[in-house]
Amino acid sequence: MKPNDVILQTVTKVVTFIILTFAVYLFLAGHHEPGGGFIGGLVITSGLTLLYLAFDIESVRQGVPVDFKIVAAVGVFIAVATGMGSLLFDSPFLSQTYGYYNLPIFGETELATAVLFDLGVALAVVGTGVTIILSISGDA
């Protein structure tokens, strides 16, 4: 007989959205406030871990059909690629730049290439974290 997990699963469905939203907020706030790629990635990892706790690994794998080893690799690639990109503009490796643009909804926004580097960091953290958790969880 399977244990009855209705309360845990229902709350997980609501809470995961809050956690992932907060992760995106932390990721985008990293330039001017506490936050950034690393803790953004860690919060996403914790949200996914909550899903793995409430449901079994197979059903989460069906819902999120992503190989997290590849996610980590893509993250490292993006981080290195932003560093290489600065070489194209005749500046040293990993130089960052920023500019102000008028976007349709947000108005005048500061866009920095550091966000791309942060994206790489976040993906690498998510990939590594979930891979570690899945490998030590036994039947993965």
What is the smallest separation between the CB atom of 8 and other proteins, expressed in angstroms? 6
Binding segment for other proteins (CB under 8 A), chosen from 21-29, 78-86, 94-102, 115-123, is 21-29
- Does position 42 interact with other proteins (CB under 8 A)? The reply is no
Write out the DSSP string of 25-57: HHHHHTTTSS--HHHHHHHHHHHHHHHHHHS-H
The verdict on 8 binding other proteins (CB under 8 A) reads yes
Q: Which stretch binds other proteins (CB under 8 A): 8-16, 36-44, 58-66, 90-98?
A: 8-16
What is the nearest approach in angstroms of other proteins to the Cβ of residue 27?
14
In the set 11, 24, 64, 87, which binds other proteins (CB under 8 A)? Answer: 11
Query: Which residue's CB is nearer to other proteins, number 11 or number 70?
Result: 11
What's 50-107 look like in SS3? HHHHHCCHHHHHHHCCCCHHHHHHHHHHHHHHHHHHHHHCCCCCCCCCEEEEEECCCE
Q: Could you tell me the smallest distance in angstroms from the CB atom of residue 62 to other proteins? A: 24
Which residues contribute to the site for other proteins (CB under 8 A)? 1, 7-8, 11, 14-15, 18, 21-22, 25
